[in-house]
Every structure is written in structure tokens, then in C-alpha cells.
């Protein structure tokens, strides 16, 4: 909607003059651009309002329509609200996630069973050779 140049902000404007389309860039003030881009505080999502009131807010991904930045104006002050950190939380295991000691016990049990199986297999093959 706007063009930013070192000379300032401009808004594209087209007019039809004698059958020709004339494209102009009309200068606009920065405050015009700010007002056009900024969302009114009352119309911002609830978590964005909380972030402005308290400085930060943490929300579940499911509660966010789109992970993006917000440019918000509240009582003449402009705020930028942007995601700064994502925390991955393992969900779905819950109580089924075995405690560390249980995992160690299962691992040890596997070793013992494996060694016992090797010894037993050796005995069986020895017996087979003797009977042959």
C-alpha cells in the first residue's frame, strides 16, 4: 500500500488522463502510514493485548491463529508484539512415560536375558553335536 524511500513515504495513486493511466506516488506523512498499518488495541487478539499490558505473554500454539508480528496502537503509543521464544513441550506420553529407573531396569533385564539365551543356545548346540 505504501512505498518507503529515503525521501519519505508515498502512496501509489492512479488516474486516467486522456485515455492514459497515470501512476503517481503521493507523499504521505509517517503518521498516516502508522495509522494505516497499526491495529487498534481493542481489535488486537486477546494475547496481544496481554503482551502489551504486561510486557510478555506465553500462549499455546493452538490458541494462535497465525504466528506473526503485530503492530498495535494504544492511546497514541505504538507497540511491536513479536514472538521471541518457542518452547517445545512433549505431550501425549503423560503418565505412560516410564521413569528413568524403570528404563534402566528394562535395559539391564534385556542384557541378562540376552546373555542367558546365548549360554542356553550353546548348551543346545553342544547336546546336538553329542547326539549326532
Partner 1 sequence: ERITYEATEADGVP
For partner 1, the binding residues (CB under 8 A) are: 4, 9, 30, 33-34, 37, 47-48, 51-52, 55-61, 64, 67, 69, 71, 77-89
Q: How far is the CB of 48 from partner 1 (least distance, A)?
A: 7
Nearest to 52 by CA among 87, 84, 85, 78: 78
CA-to-CA separations, 17 to 2, 12, 24, 119, in angstroms, rounded: 23, 16, 12, 98
Q: Which residues contact 71 (CB under 8 A, 6 or more apart)?
A: 37, 38, 39, 78, 79, 80, 81
The answer to whether 21 touches 14, Cβ cutoff 8 Å, is yes
Pick between residue 13 and residue 31 the one whose CB is nearest to partner 1.
31
Q: How far is the CB of 100 from partner 1 (least distance, A)?
A: 24
Pick between residue 40 and residue 126 the one whose CB is nearest to partner 1.
40
Pick between residue 24 and residue 69 the one whose CB is nearest to partner 1.
69
Pick between residue 34 and residue 120 the one whose CB is nearest to partner 1.
34
Q: How far is the CB of 105 from partner 1 (least distance, A)?
A: 32
Nearest to 33 by CA among 12, 10, 13, 5: 10
Q: How far is the CB of 45 from partner 1 (least distance, A)?
A: 10
Amino acid at each position: 500500500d505504501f512505498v518507503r524511500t529515503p525521501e519519505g513515504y508515498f502512496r501509489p495513486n492512479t488516474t486516467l488522463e486522456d485515455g492514459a493511466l497515470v501512476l503517481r506516488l503521493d507523499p504521505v506523512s509517517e503518521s498516516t502510514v502508522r495509522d494505516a498499518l497499526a491495529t487498534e488495541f481493542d481489535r488486537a487478539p486477546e494475547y496481544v493485548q496481554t503482551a502489551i499490558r504486561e510486557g510478555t505473554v506465553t500462549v499455546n500454539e493452538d490458541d494462535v491463529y497465525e504466528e506473526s508480528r503485530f503492530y498495535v496502537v494504544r492511546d497514541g503509543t505504538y507497540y511491536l508484539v513479536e514472538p521471541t521464544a518457542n518452547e517445545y513441550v512433549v505431550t501425549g506420553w503423560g503418565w505412560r512415560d516410564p521413569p528413568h529407573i524403570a528404563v534402566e531396569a528394562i535395559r539391564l533385564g534385556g542384557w541378562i536375558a540376552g546373555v542367558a539365551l546365548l549360554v542356553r543356545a550353546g548348551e543346545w548346540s553342544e547336546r546336538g553335536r553329542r547326539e549326532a
